[in-house]
Structure 1
Amino acid sequence: MIAIDTSVLIDLLGDDAGRADAAEQSVRDALAQGPVVLCDVVVSEITAGLGHGTDIMDVVEEMGMRYLPVERRSAVRAGEMQRRFNQRRRASGRAAQPSPRTVPDFIVGAHALLQCAALITRDAGFFRDYFKGLKVIVPKAP
């Protein structure tokens, strides 16, 4: 089972043809290996970004993807990773600056690490840094 990040779904459903093609190929490749899933955060974010939540989910499901809720252990791991991130920022003296990361980023990563085999995302650096062992798949233009 492979999780998909919001950025890739927005690319897939958005207006940028180059990004849409790369996202589509990544999803096709992943679906050939097994289920592709969206967690709670991704469903919420694509609805916020694209609107029409029920319609968007219908489209996503027609493509072969499905919803997989975040388990408690993933939610706990997300909180642990967020705390580690905040500690690193304080130690580097950047705590006063606005954080580029919020809890949803950590939930997506923990969900992919603990409940799936991989994550399709454009944000490989962050997920590799905080979720060691997570296989990260980055869409590439065909």
Structure 2
Amino acid sequence: MAVILIDTCVVTDLADPDSAWFEWSTAKLEQLDRNHTMIINPIIYAECSVGYARIEEVECLFKRLGFAMHSIPKEALFLAGKAILQYKKSKGEKGNVLPDFFIGAHAAVSGYKLITRDRGRFSTYFPGVELIMPESLNGLN
């Protein structure tokens, strides 16, 4: 069974029924659920926890969603460091990019698909990762 890493933006969609992307994220994961294992990693967990006051709330969210947490292999941490260096050399100036590099490297090293709404850094720095995205974003980001 193939594994899909669930990006933070998709988890936050699923946590908020009023989100503009709730319907797409829900429908896409239901469609993929038959043939895939859905996971997160510690970076995604940490990013999602920002919206909650207590750890029990975050734990409840991931239990309800049924996403297991997988560790990030050392090889992915190394690859993330190299990708960040490349980003900085190409004059990347956004300061909040580190989580994306950990997430992209994890998917790349482990051979996971990645469901996201953020094509930019993932497709540029981890071109071998199969991205699952809304069709309306395929030419954007």
Q: How does the TM-score come out when normalised to structure 2?
A: 0.84
Offset from partner CA, 1:62-86 (integer Å, 9 cap, x none): 3221111111111110000000000
Q: What does residue range 1-142 of structure 1 map to in structure 2 within 5 Å?
A: 1-89=3-91, 98-139=93-134
Task: Sort the Cα spacing of 1:2 and 1:19 in 2 relative to 1 into closer, same or farther, 3 A.
Answer: same
CA distance in 1, matches of 2:52, 2:32: 23
User: SS at 1:49's partner residue?
Assistant: coil
Deviation for aligned residue 1:2: 0.5
Alignment partners' CA distance in 2, 1:20 and 1:51? 22
Offset at residue 17 of structure 1 (A): 4.4
Superposed displacement of residue 55, structure 1: 2.3
TM-score (norm 1): 0.83
Q: 1:51: how far off?
A: 4.0
Identity rate, percent = 24
1:22–1:50 distance in 2 versus 1, CA, 3 Å: farther
Structure 2 letter corresponding to 1:13: A
**What is the count of residue pairs matched by the alignment?**
134
- Alpha carbons of structure 1 residues 135 and 51: separation in structure 2 relative to 1, 3 Å: farther
Cα 1:139–1:52 change in 2 (3 A) is: farther
Partner Cα distance (2:111, 2:33) in 1: 13
CA-to-partner distance for each residue in 1:87-141, whole Å, 9 max, x for gaps? Answer: 011xxxx6xxx42542211001011111242100000132111101100001469
Q: Distance in 1 between matches of 2:44 and 2:99?
A: 9
- 1 or 2 for the larger relative contact order (CA 8 Å, sep ≥6)? 1
Query: Following superposition, which runs of at least 4 residues in structure 1 exceed 6 angstroms of deviation?
Result: none
Rounded Cα–Cα distance in structure 2 between residues aligned with 1:39 and 1:84: 23
Amino acid at match of 1:119: L
